[in-house]
């Protein structure tokens, strides 16, 4: 790739990354799994944003979806169930130069990881958080998750999930310092791409809930939306997700929604009858925690030793 | 309310006649004014309701004494609640200071003098065996005239009770004297009392004034002045009212190196900085938190950051993330926090992430004794994770070691690509002791993160077949890209689907401990290398054990001791050392069954934690003695235990 600079000298990019540079191991998800769509999109966004693979870290918890890092050829951290976010925050804390991505499931994030979920939204560290929400525990074979719709039969609730499903959007929007909330289905590639790309460009914790197909354990989670697009509400706005006619055509239900409007976001998030698709909320100016945690990175050894000597002086006899 | 014939008085209050005469003699009490008699050491307590500043008073007294060149050991007396009811035995809050001519390594036996702000708080100290016949009690007397009849009666009966049990009680109008200087004596009596004890022990007044000014420096002259006035007035008050007066001369032959004085948590904090740690990730828990308080105060200067996480799991996860990204990090906690961290520790072991975990132990299980000492996390530190999770475990036995072991831990963590657990405890955390000022070294600081390209021929886990050691790629290093995982993995960090890989990688992770053990020296025996009884200890009980052993040895008995710093891997040569003694016995502050009970047999006995480890490792029939009273081991108590064991052995 070449670019011309003002002084007319040709600037040759030293490195240009192709999709192949982001390829990891061969993905081992079930045929028809929505995770493939997300993986491909992550590869494409990384390529289009030309992120150096060695500077990119993909962090995850445990679950089918949390296998993500193994399938991306960057650095990766496949952590513990529910704990992707603290690990990712730690990566970023003293290394703001690293580009951090998180892959997590509905069980991983909203159930066992509920504490870190809430607090990580508050920390608002610069990272993309992709929630693969298939409304079920996939890896452990069909147990009820917090987003399993009430009445859905699972192996732990054979007569139907007893509780109303948790609404991750209203919860996330309700957390102080929330800065980016989007929701997209995995089966709409252009929207998925735009959501992840915008999330990546946002400085702060970008929460992207992906409604994800799991044909093996929770086919009915996505089916109603696939079969009846009127059950989806497309959010349109000049500051929302970029979309062209081909996308707009697919959504009979649309609403203009300014992502700066938090109350409006809450309103569409709460609407149980139609699932909002697009960018619900965006505050580019929310403070990020690494601006605190990564201070003082440039102290020299001389400076440090002088400070420690002074600390010792305070205890000197 | 303790009754006169309450069994608690018995046994806990040692009779004068039973005392070892090298420690105490009545002459010590005959120090009438005039030339102050010299004593080798003295144990003082200050006890009050919480919030009356007894601890600050004692800490300042300790600092003054330390700066005069005396040996010092302080132990805080902390009630479990922040604001326990006033004038209640359970609310006793205060401090013990043991001052000596030479180095002092533990809290000693019974106090010889106590200043009490009310009479009720003394009861819990009595029940803890803190005093003996002849102990001088300087007691606030305002309760004598309290408007509440009940309080007056309580006071009168307590004073009588104390006297009948041989305490030497002086009722003093301290409050009244303070009110001449400040409107609220509750806020000033501690400095008044400091003045009193500084007179009693001939402390350097100028130094004391400086120390007070330092203590209140942040509050300015308008606070410093009245406190110095209170001090002066307490000093004069004692000179006028009390017939006692001692000197604790400094042993001039003692170590003349520059010295610092701090508690164990401050030492940990200093060690964290001196080791080049960049991140402390923690969740508040007693008695660990004050280490993070101290670090938070000064960490900016070295460019470090204290992260207060949402819980202990997130705290260690955050530290692991930072360490994975090449930054040196630690997490500081206590027992309940350790329990929460186990899954993450397993991840760090499995994925070979360097990490320092500092466990300031308190009493367990569950919430247990939050403010009190126990050494009961050894087995959970060693074996707490599901599956086999070999890691380095070391224990500091002095406040000085609290400093140096953080540096040691960080370097071991890096060199062996492993988590390292450093065990300290509540006794070290709040105890204050002078120790040689560390000579900082630049190589203690962490090296900058390596961002040079990685040799792509080298896999992420390039295990050396001999030692299990390997280097790790750090994000940012080109060609080093790998996925760290807690799943069983191959040398390339790929998920292992075959059983051989798991067997082999488990062997190699375990091998690292053997490789480390080969670099260690056998521990030094305190006393003779052979004899009747060998006491084995670990952690903060070092000073108490060695003092007790020295006393019994002075009686001509064949006892020695040995103190372990490395618990995983164990220091080498133990079985050989043990073989030169008729009996080996651990002394620990954790629970073990007592063989005296009819239900307890050698077959079902649950041993103290180090004893269990050593028995398994050496196949020596190691005995143990351990208690969980929540306080440090007194040398006098240990002395009696050792004497009994020796007697049983020789019968
Ligand atoms: C501490 C802990 N508890 C339970 C598990 C078992 N477990 C693994 S994945 C999982 C649920 C995964 O569901 P989700 O997060 O929705 O991911 P999915 O597999 O659906 O992508 C559970 C319960 C575990 N690995 N660790
Ligand atoms: Mg799921």
Report the interhelical angle of A84-93 vs B312-324 (nearest 10°).
50
Mean per-residue pLDDT of chain B? 92
How sure is the predictor about A11, in pLDDT bands with cuts at 50, 70 and 90?
low
Q: Which residues contact B256 (CB under 8 A, 6 or more apart)?
A: none
Q: Which two tokens stand for residue A181?
A: 């909330």
Longest dimension (CA), chain A: 79
Q: Is A144 in the pocket of ligand 1 (CB under 6 A)?
A: no
Other CB atoms within a 10 A radius of the CB of residue A225 amount to 18
Q: How far apart are CA B48 and CA B53, in angstroms?
A: 8
Residue A14: per-residue pLDDT: 81
Examine the pLDDT at B528 and tell me if it is beyond 70: yes
Å from B415 to nearest chain A CA?
21
Q: How confident is the model at residue B376 (pLDDT cuts 50, 70, 90)?
A: very high
Q: Give the model confidence (pLDDT) of A114-169 as tens digits.
A: 999 999 999 999 999 999 999 999 999 999 999 999 999 999 999 999 999 999 99
What's the A147 CA to ligand 2 centre distance in angstroms?
Answer: 9
Residue B255 pLDDT greater than 90, yes or no: no
How many CA atoms lie within 13 Å of B540's alpha carbon, on the beta-carbon side? 36
Could you tell me which chain B residue has the CA closest to the CA of A302? B442
Q: What is the pLDDT of residue B32?
A: 46
Query: Hey, are the CB atoms on B302 and A55 less than 8 Å from each other?
Result: no
Give the pLDDT band (50/70/90) at residue B251: confident
Q: Say whether A55 and B475 touch across the interface (CB within 8 A).
A: yes
CATH of domain B262-444: 3.40.50.970
With vertex at residue B436, the alpha carbon angle to CA B430 and CA B440, rounded to the nearest 5 degrees, is 100
Task: Determine whether the shortest distance from the Cβ of A22 to ligand 1 is under 6 A.
Answer: no
Of A55, A59, A312, the CB nearest to B437: A312
DSSP state of B474: -
What is the H or E stretch that residue B176 is in? helix B174-179
Distance of CA A134 from the midpoint of ligand 2 (Å): 5
Average pLDDT over residues A256-272: 97
Q: Break chain B into its structural domains and give their ranges.
A: 7-13+30-241, 262-444, 450-519, 525-650
- How far apart CA B33 and CA B44 sit, in angstroms, is 19
Indicate the pLDDT class of residue A1, thresholds 50, 70 and 90.
very low
Q: Is A113 in the pocket of ligand 1 (CB under 6 A)?
A: no
How far does the CA of residue A129 sit from the closest CA of chain B (Å)?
16
How many CB atoms are closer than 10 A to CB B536?
27
Interface test with A, best of B450, B475, B479, B484 (most A CBs within 10 A): B475
Nearest CA to ligand 1 atom 6: A140
A268-281 tens-digit pLDDT: 999 989 999 999 99
Structure tokens at A275: 């699932």
Q: Cα–Cα distance between B512 and B505 in angstroms, integer?
A: 11
Least confident span in A263-272, B40-49, B71-80: B71-80
Three-state SS across B394-447? Answer: EECCCHHHHHHHHHHHHHHHHHHCCEEEEEEEHHHHHCEEEEECCCCCHHHCCC
**Segment (H or E) for A12:** strand A10-12
Which residue of chain B is at minimal alpha-carbon distance from A119?
B310
CB atoms within 10 A of CB B451: 16
- Strands (DSSP E) along B475-595, which ranges? 483-485, 525-526, 531-538, 559-564, 566-568, 581-588
Nearest chain A residue to B434, by CA: A317
Q: Does A60 sit in the ligand 1 pocket, CB within 6 Å?
A: no
Percent of chain A residues topping a pLDDT of 70: 96
Residue B452 in tokens:
């040079």
For the cut 50, the answer to whether the pLDDT of residue B15 exceeds it is no
Residue A219 burial (CB count, 10 A): 13
Q: What is the DSSP string of B265-313?
A: HHHHHHHHHHTT--EEEE---TTTHHHHHHHHHHGGGGT-EEEE-SSHH
Segment B573-631, tens digit of pLDDT:
999 999 999 999 999 999 999 999 999 999 999 999 999 999 999 999 999 999 999 98
The DSSP result for A183-206, as a single string, is EEETT-HHHHHHHHHHHHHSSSEE
pLDDT band (50, 70, 90) for residue B187? confident
Q: Give the tens place of pLDDT for each residue, A12-60.
A: 568 999 999 999 999 999 999 999 999 999 999 999 999 999 999 999 9
- Looking at residue B10, what is its pLDDT? 47
Nearest to B274 among A80, A118, A308 (CB): A308
Is A106's C-beta closer than 6 angstroms to any atom of ligand 1? yes
* Ligand 1 nearest atom to the CA of residue A137, by list position: 13
User: Any idea which ligand is nearest the CA of A107?
Assistant: 1
- The domains located in chain A, with CATH, are 25-288 (3.40.50.970)
- pLDDT tens-digit profile of B389-414? 999 999 999 999 999 999 999 999 99
Contact between residue B328 and residue B275 where contact means Cβ atoms under 8 Å apart: yes
| CA-based nearest residue to B345, from B284, B386, B308, B288 | B386
In this chain, the answer to whether the domains covering B7-13+30-241 and B262-444 adopt an identical fold is no
Task: For residue A66, give the ligand nearest its CA.
Answer: 1
Q: Which residues pair with A78 in a beta bridge?
A: A60, B485
CATH topology of domain B525-650: Rossmann fold (3.40.50)
Q: What is the pLDDT of residues A50-88, one digit of tens each?
A: 999 999 999 999 999 999 999 999 999 999 999 999 999
Under a CB-based contact definition with an 8 Å cutoff, are residues B114 and B137 in contact? yes
A154–chain B nearest CA distance, Å: 27
CB contact under 8 A, A70 and B483: yes
pLDDT for B9 equals 46
pLDDT band with cut points at 50, 70 and 90 for residue B13: very low
Distance CA B366, CA A69 (A): 37
> pLDDT of B110-131, one tens digit each?
999 999 999 999 999 998 889 9
What is the token pair recorded at B466?
């001999």
Contact of B323 with B329, CB cutoff 8 Å: yes
**pLDDT > 70? residue B16:** no
Q: Nearest residue CA, atom 4 of ligand 1?
A: A81
Exposed/middle/buried for A272, CB within 10 Å: 0-12, 13-18, 19+? exposed
Q: Which tokens hold the place of B187?
A: 């806020």
> For residue A90, how far is its CA from the centre of ligand 1 (angstroms)?
22
Query: What's the CA gap between B578 and A184, in Å, rounded?
Result: 68
Residue in chain A nearest B257 by alpha carbon: A317
**pLDDT, position B215:** 87
The confidence score (pLDDT) of residue A129 equals 98
Residue from B72, B207, B300, B303 to probe the interface with A (highest A Cβ count within 10 Å): B303
Evaluate if residue B233 carries a pLDDT over 80.
yes
Minimal CA separation from A17 to chain B, in Å: 13
* DSSP letter for each residue of B220-270: -HHHHHHHHHHHHHHHHHHHHH-----B----TTS--S-EEEEEHHHHHHH
pTM of the model: 0.93
B512 preceded by cis ω (within 30°)? no
Q: Looking at residue B4, what is its pLDDT? A: 38
Residue of the CA atom closest to atom 20 of ligand 1: A138
Predicted confidence at residue B5, as pLDDT, reads 45
Inter-chain CB proximity A317 and B279 less than 8 Å: no
Return the SS3 of B542.
Answer: helix
**CB proximity list for B553: less than 8 A, separation 6 or greater:** B527, B559, B560
Q: Can you tell me the ipTM of this complex?
A: 0.96
Question: Which positions in chain A touch B66 (Cβ < 8 Å)?
Answer: 317
The alpha-carbon gap from B430 to the nearest alpha carbon of chain A, in Å, equals 15
Cβ–Cβ gap B298/A292 under 8 Å:
no
Q: Which residues of B touch A297 (CB under 8 A)?
A: 303
Looking at CATH, the fold of the domain delimited by B7-13+30-241 is given as Pyruvate-ferredoxin Oxidoreductase; domain 3 (3.40.920)
Give the model's confidence band at B27: pLDDT under 50 very low, under 70 low, under 90 confident, else very high.
very low
pLDDT at position B567: 98
Q: What are phi and psi of A76, to 5 degrees?
A: -150, 155
**Predicted local distance difference test score (pLDDT) of residue A3:** 42
Nearest CA to ligand 1 atom 10: A63
CB-neighbour burial class of residue A190 (10 A; exposed 0-12, middle 13-18, buried 19+):
middle
B429 closest CA partner among B373, B353, B345, B497: B373
- What was the pLDDT predicted at B452? 98
Tell me the C-alpha to C-alpha distance, in Å, between residue A240 and each of A182, A197, A258, A281, B66.
9, 12, 7, 9, 67
């Amino acid at each position: 790739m070449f670019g011309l600079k003002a002084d007319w000298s040709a600037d040759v990019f030293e490195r240009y990354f192709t999709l192949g540079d982001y390829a990891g191991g061969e993905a081992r998800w079930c045929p028809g799994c929505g995770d493939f769509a997300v993986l491909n999109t992550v590869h494409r966004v990384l390529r289009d944003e030309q992120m150096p693979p060695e500077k990119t870290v993909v962090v995850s918890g445990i679950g089918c979806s949390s296998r993500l890092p193994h399938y991306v050829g960057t650095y990766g951290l496949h952590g513990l169930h529910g704990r992707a976010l603290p690990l990712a925050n730690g990566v970023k804390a003293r290394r703001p130069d690293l580009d951090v991505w998180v892959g997590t499931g509905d069980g991983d994030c909203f159930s066992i990881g509920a504490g870190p979920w809430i607090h990580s939204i508050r920390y608002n560290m610069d990272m993309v958080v992709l929630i693969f929400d298939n409304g079920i525990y996939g890896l452990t074979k069909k147990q009820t998750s917090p987003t399993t719709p009430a009445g859905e039969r699972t192996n732990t609730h054979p007569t139907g999930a007893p509780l109303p499903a948790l609404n991750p959007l209203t919860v996330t929007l309700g957390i102080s310092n929330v800065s980016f909330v989007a929701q997209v289905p995995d089966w709409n590639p252009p929207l998925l791409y735009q959501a992840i790309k915008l999330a990546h460009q946002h400085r702060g914790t970008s929460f992207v809930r992906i409604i994800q197909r799991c044909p093996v354990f929770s086919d009915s989670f996505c089916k109603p939306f696939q079969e009846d697009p009127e059950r989806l509400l497309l959010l349109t706005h000049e500051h929302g997700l970029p979309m062209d006619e081909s996308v707009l055509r697919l959504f009979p239900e649309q609403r203009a929604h300014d992502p700066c409007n938090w109350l409006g976001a809450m309103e569409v998030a709460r609407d149980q009858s139609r699932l909002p698709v697009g960018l619900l909320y965006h505050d580019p100016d929310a403070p990020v925690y690494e601006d605190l945690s990564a201070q003082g990175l440039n102290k020299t050894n001389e400076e440090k030793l002088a400070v420690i000597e002074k600390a010792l002086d305070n205890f000197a006899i | 309310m303790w009754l006169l014939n309450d069994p608690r008085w018995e046994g806990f209050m040692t009779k004068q006649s039973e005392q070892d005469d090298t420690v105490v003699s009545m002459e010590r009490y005959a120090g009438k004014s005039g030339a102050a008699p010299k004593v080798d050491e003295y144990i003082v307590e200050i006890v009050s309701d919480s919030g009356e500043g007894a601890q600050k008073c004692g800490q300042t007294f300790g600092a003054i004494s330390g700066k005069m060149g005396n040996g010092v050991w302080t132990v805080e007396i902390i009630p479990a609640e922040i604001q326990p009811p006033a004038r209640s035995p359970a609310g006793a809050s205060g401090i013990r200071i043991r001052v000596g001519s030479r180095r002092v390594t533990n809290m000693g036996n019974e106090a010889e003098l106590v200043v009490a702000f009310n009479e009720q708080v003394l009861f819990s100290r009595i029940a803890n065996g803190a005093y003996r016949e002849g102990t001088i009690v300087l007691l606030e007397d305002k309760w004598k005239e309290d408007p509440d009849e009940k309080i007056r009666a309580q006071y009168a009966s307590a004073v009588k009770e104390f006297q009948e049990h041989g305490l030497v009680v002086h009722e003093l109008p301290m409050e009244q004297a303070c009110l001449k200087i400040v409107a609220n004596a509750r806020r000033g009596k501690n400095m008044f009392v400091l003045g009193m004890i500084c007179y009693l022990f001939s402390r350097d007044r100028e130094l004391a004034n400086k120390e007070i000014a330092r203590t209140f420096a942040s509050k300015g002259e308008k606070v410093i002045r009245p406190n110095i006035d209170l001090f002066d007035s307490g000093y004069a008050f004692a000179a006028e009212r009390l017939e006692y007066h001692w000197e604790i001369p400094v042993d001039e032959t003692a170590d003349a190196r520059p010295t610092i004085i701090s508690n164990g948590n401050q030492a940990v904090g200093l060690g964290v900085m001196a080791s080049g740690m960049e991140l402390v990730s923690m969740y508040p828990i007693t008695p660990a938190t004050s280490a993070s308080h101290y670090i938070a105060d000064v960490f900016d200067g070295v460019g470090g950051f204290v992260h207060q996480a949402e819980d202990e799991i997130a705290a260690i996860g955050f530290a692991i993330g930072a360490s994975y990204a090449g930054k040196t990090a630690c997490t500081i906690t206590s027992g309940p926090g350790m329990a929460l961290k186990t899954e993450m520790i397993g991840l760090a072991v499995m994925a070979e992430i360097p990490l320092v975990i500092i466990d300031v132990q308190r009493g367990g299980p569950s919430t247990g004794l939050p403010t009190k000492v126990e050494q009961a996390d050894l087995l959970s530190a060693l074996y707490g994770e599901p599956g086999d999770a070999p890691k380095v475990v070391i224990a500091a036995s002095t406040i000085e070691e609290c400093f140096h072991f953080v540096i040691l831990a960080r370097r071991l963590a890096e060199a062996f690509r492993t988590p390292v657990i450093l065990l300290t405890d509540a006794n070290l955390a709040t105890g204050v002791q002078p120790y040689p000022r560390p000579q900082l070294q630049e190589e203690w600081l962490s090296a900058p993160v390596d961002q040079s390209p990685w040799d792509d021929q080298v896999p992420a886990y390039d295990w050396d077949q001999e030692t299990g050691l390997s280097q790790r790629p750090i994000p940012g290093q080109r060609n080093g890209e790998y996925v760290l995982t807690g799943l069983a993995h191959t040398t390339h960090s790929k998920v292992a689907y075959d059983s051989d890989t798991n067997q082999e990688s488990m062997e190699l992770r375990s091998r690292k401990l053997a490789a480390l053990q080969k670099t260690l020296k056998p521990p030094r025996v305190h006393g003779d290398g052979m004899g009747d009884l060998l006491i084995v200890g670990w952690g903060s009980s070092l000073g108490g054990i060695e003092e007790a052993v020295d006393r019994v040895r002075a009686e001509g008995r064949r006892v020695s001791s040995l103190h372990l710093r490395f618990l995983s891997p164990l220091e080498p040569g133990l079985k050989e050392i043990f073989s030169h003694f008729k009996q080996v016995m651990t002394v620990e502050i954790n629970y073990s069954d007592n063989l005296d009970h009819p239900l307890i047999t050698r077959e079902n006995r649950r041993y103290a934690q180090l004893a269990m480890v050593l028995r398994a490792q050496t196949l020596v029939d190691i005995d143990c003695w351990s208690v969980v009273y929540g306080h440090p081991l007194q040398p006098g108590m240990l002395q009696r235990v050792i004497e009994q064991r020796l007697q049983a052995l020789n019968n």
